[in-house]
Every structure is written in C-alpha cells, then in structure tokens.
Chain A
C-alpha cells in the first residue's frame, strides 16, 4: 500500500472540515482499501469515520427506520428493529459479500460508492428512502446518477438513510458466485404508493426502477403479471459473467419469485 496520511475525527464537524479540505472519507474500507492497493483510487489523506458515534445505529422515526451511515452490514442484519419492520433489508444486509466483509462494510460506504452490482442501492431506491447528508436530504430517485456516481457533492457526507417501512418487501439476488455481488438483484416492495421494483447488477447505468414491472404488479400482484412484462435487454450489461439477454431473463425470473414469496 502506498503512503497516505490518516485522520480519525470523533465529531461530524471535524470530519466535514477534513473532507472539505480534500480528505477521502474512509467508512468500512472494504471497497476503498482494495481499490487503493490496485491504484484505482489514490487519495492522499484518509478520514476514518469509524469513531463518530452519531453516524452509528438504527432508530425508528414514525413510519420510517433511520439507519446511521456507519452502521455495519452485520449490525443491520442483526438489528431487532430492522428485522421486525423491514426484514427484507436485514436479509439483504446479511447476504452482502461474506461475513468478514459484513463485519466491516457500512451502509453509507456502499450507497456512496454506488457500485452497479451492490445490493443496498436497490433497497434505497425501491423503498423510496431519503439520503441524509451533512448538507441536505436527497430523495433516492435523485441520488443515484449512474455508474459509481451519486448526487453527493465534494465534501458532502452521508450521515444516515431513512427507509419508509413498506407493507411487504423482499430482495432476491442471483449471486456472481466468486464475488457474491449481484449478477442481478431485484428488490420488490409493496408500498403505500404502489409496487416498487428496483434492479441492481444488471444495467450499465447502475441501479434502476423498472417501470413496466411496477405498473403490471401494481395492477395485479401475481407472478403471471410479472412474467408478461417484456424486459428490454438493450440497456443491460454484457460481461464475462453474463450476457445482457441472460440478465434480462434473470430480472423476470427473480421478480416472479419475489412476487410468489410475498404472496405466500
């Protein structure tokens, strides 16, 4: 690993100051440190957010769960409030990477990175969550802006994400067997506003909501209704793991299975 400087602030205001001056936020580091070893990223200063108490933990705020940005995947998976109110989110967190990664990786780190095959963005988008930052609140629909791109501005940090509690939801992931990232992941939620279907792992632009599946399932919440929707492969990824057509097929199949599970 190359040389860099390291700061470990204990308050959000100190972290903001350091990041505003050009420091790179370090959350769990499970993507960042590996990227730095490969020189895919080469920050000169890391600002470790691990000791800022206000970024950690889960609380209920009316009909939403608010999860601190530095809450580890293992802690979301095990949290009693999350398991009670949004079990799909707990299950999603419990399937990220492997247990060693889940012990370090964080919600905020994953969402800020917006890897096109990450699991969390699908839940944020499908549940129409709100991303709280050091400067503002950003609706999920405005937050994700394509491959590794988000609405976050330089120096802006995610502090928490607020997830409205859905009537029901499920996340199904077809894993790329080596990395455990989503080859395709589908988060299906029945919300007050209708059915939401967010897809990760599949598209060249990263996570997206599938309007056709949402419309069909809002009208008729059955596997048959999902099966009747044509999934356009033209915007989907082809890589060594799967073709765009295969990914399109998986979106349909996983959505049907999700609907079946939610209807059981």
Chain B
C-alpha cells in the first residue's frame, strides 16, 4: 500500500505494508534514525514524534493511520544551517541527558508540552513528561532543560 505524509516539511510517499509501524517507516524507509525504539510497548516514549501538532508514540501507531498527516521528528527541529531548536539548545546547556537514548523522544515531548502549556510549572512539566522514561534517571536536568527551553521558545 502507498502511504503519504509530510515529514519535517517535505512531502513523502512510501510503498509499504499495512503492518508497518510509524517508527519503522521513519527509521527503516526514510532513514530518520533519530527517533528511537526503546521498549516497543508504548511505555518509554523514546519513539515520540509530533503528528498534526500532538506528540504520539510512533511504535504504537501504524504508518497507515497517519496517512496524510504532518509529522515532525527530531531531525526536523534544528534550522537548515544547523542552529539548534531552543529546546535542543536547552537540553545541551543543562546537560539534560546522560546516555542520550531517551533524548530525542524527551525533546519532542517537551516541544509539544511547551507549545500546549507555555507557562507550565515544574510540577506540570513532570506530570506532562510521564510518558517519557529516562533509565539513567536524569530527570532533574531534564526538567531544568524543559524550563529553560520553554522560556527560550517564548522569547
């Protein structure tokens, strides 16, 4: 079957099979390997991407379900000249990562969070990030990064 969507601003059309998960289409067919598969059971959030303005877990969505959607992955955040998105810059500055495996999902989830709740409190940030797990348990710096990223996104 043919599935079309817009990924990071570019129209793409892929030939695929119905059982292709969105994360498989992104990683294996479009070579966008910044989106990670952590648990493959919709718990860890490493595979988080933004579909039509909302973060979803791409290991728990069929590519066919989002036919026609606008998708943003971690590769779509930085500017063409390499300038980091404010949330990426904040994660870098605050050292909001340890091993880095959860980071792309964390950043996508955080961008969605801040677009929806630009004035989120620390408690709300923690609540809204409950779908993203950091097995290094580096949550303190992640929350600080999201706070700094939120401020930078408003600026």
How distant is the Cα of A64 from the Cα of B45 in the complex, in angstroms? 36
Contact of B113 among A1, A4, A99 (CB under 8 A): A99
Question: Is the CB–CB distance between B55 and A99 below 8 Å?
Answer: yes
Asked whether A98 and B45 contact (CB < 8 A) given A34-B60, A48-B65, the answer is yes
Among A100-108, A138-146, A232-240, A246-254, the stretch that binds chain B is A100-108
Asked whether A4 and B56 contact (CB < 8 A) given A33-B61, A33-B62, A99-B128, the answer is no
Q: Which of chain A's residues have a CB closer than 8 A to the CB of B113?
A: 99
B5 vs chain A, min Cβ distance (A):
14
Contact of B56 among A8, A26, A100 (CB under 8 A): A100
Among B15-23, B80-88, B94-102, B145-153, the stretch that binds chain A is B15-23
A174 vs chain B, min Cβ distance (A):
15
Does B130 belong to the interface (CB within 8 Å)?
yes
Asked whether A29 and B55 contact (CB < 8 A) given A34-B41, A34-B42, the answer is no
Chain A residues with a Cβ closer than 8 Å to the other chain, count: 27
Contact with B along A87-98 (1 / 0, CB 8 A): 000000000011
Contact of B62 among A29, A97, A98 (CB under 8 A): A29
How distant is the Cα of A2 from the Cα of B21 in the complex, in angstroms? 11
Q: How large is the interface on B (under 10, 10 to 19, 20 to 34, 35 or more residues)?
A: 20 to 34
Does A74 belong to the interface (CB within 8 Å)?
yes
Question: Is the CB–CB distance between A98 and B18 below 8 Å?
Answer: no
How distant is the Cα of A178 from the Cα of B42 in the complex, in angstroms? 12
Question: Is the CB–CB distance between B1 and A100 below 8 Å?
Answer: no
Q: Which of chain A's residues have a CB closer than 8 A to the CB of B128?
A: 99
Does B104 belong to the interface (CB within 8 Å)?
no
Which partner residue on chain B sits nearest A74 by CB separation? B54
B94-131 at interface with A (beta carbon < 8 Å): 109, 112-113, 128, 130-131
B20-48 at interface with A (beta carbon < 8 Å): 20-21, 40-43, 45, 48
How distant is the Cα of A97 from the Cα of B57 in the complex, in angstroms? 12
Q: Could you count the A-B residue pairs with CB atoms below 8 Å apart for me: how many are there?
A: 76
Query: Which of B1, B41, B42, B61 has the most chain A CB atoms inside 10 A of its CB?
Result: B42
Does A6 belong to the interface (CB within 8 Å)?
yes
Question: Is the CB–CB distance between A103 and B1 below 8 Å?
Answer: no
Question: Is the CB–CB distance between B55 and A100 below 8 Å?
Answer: yes
Contact of B55 among A103, A178, A179 (CB under 8 A): A103
Asked whether A6 and B61 contact (CB < 8 A) given A1-B19, A99-B112, A100-B55, the answer is no
Does B143 belong to the interface (CB within 8 Å)?
no
Question: Is the CB–CB distance between B54 and A101 below 8 Å?
Answer: no
Contact with B along A31-50 (1 / 0, CB 8 A): 00110010000000010101
Question: Is the CB–CB distance between B18 and A46 below 8 Å?
Answer: yes
Does A5 belong to the interface (CB within 8 Å)?
yes
A206-222 at interface with B (beta carbon < 8 Å): none
28 sampled A-B residue pairs with Cβ under 8 A: A2-B19, A3-B17, A3-B18, A3-B19, A4-B18, A4-B19, A5-B18, A6-B18, A6-B62, A6-B64, A8-B67, A29-B62, A33-B61, A46-B18, A46-B62, A98-B131, A98-B132, A99-B109, A99-B128, A100-B45, A100-B55, A100-B109, A101-B131, A103-B55, A103-B56, A104-B60, A104-B61, A179-B43
5 more CB-based (< 8 A) A-B contacts, given A33-B21, A97-B131, A101-B57 = A37-B40, A98-B45, A100-B57, A100-B109, A104-B60
Q: List the 5 closest pairs (A to B, CB-CB), nearest first.
A: A98-B131, A6-B18, A103-B54, A1-B19, A100-B131
